[in-house]
Structure 1
Amino acid sequence: MAGSKLSGHDVARIEELLLDDVSADRSVAELAGACGLSAGQFSRAFRRTLGTSPHQWLLEQRIARAKCLLRGKQSISEVAFECGFADQSHLTRVFLRKVGMTPGEWRRAKYSDA
């Protein structure tokens, strides 16, 4: 198993599990089981395949979705809920850490001319 990566089929299955129901709190053990691997094997293979941990990958996907939703008229708290964050504060903390500005600042910077 040393040096192994996830197959394209496994990546698609994991993406489906993580993104189809953003409110579901999937454990590494559950994701690993879907691929027929132990949690440790899965975590190493995931990192080799996608270059990051499952948790960080999921946060990046949620931030990308939040950016799309922030283009609309939804409130930031509605965007947070729809993207699977606990609340607006959680979205703001993660967004600030990943993007370098808050969702409100990002929205204003991107769409202030519109």
Structure 2
Amino acid sequence: MNKVVDATPAQHEAARAIIHALNPDARLIETDYSRVSPDQIFDTGLFDFERAHQHPMWFKELYGFDDHVPEDAEYGVTSFVWEARRPLIPERFNEFLQTPLPGGSRSCSSACSGR
């Protein structure tokens, strides 16, 4: 749970209650500025595939596909992958990333930065 310092005590408790209702077994990490030690979230050994597989929402997602609404339709999220034979010119691409994009956002994988 991020930005805990900005929440009132009532908001803080409401958020905790909602998270607990959604997943009573979840380990709740409270933070500000998304500062979380990587060892708190990676390779924790907490995920149990067999237990998750028994959860009703897992079953619904796997077998209730007739009712499934894709994320792009539900949230208006779209994406694309750009590929070209010509090399990417980092300066021009950076210039493009700096232009306003009304109503949207951009993200780029490490391939964009050459890492």
Smaller-chain TM-score bracket: under 0.3
Give the TM-score normalised by structure 1: 0.20
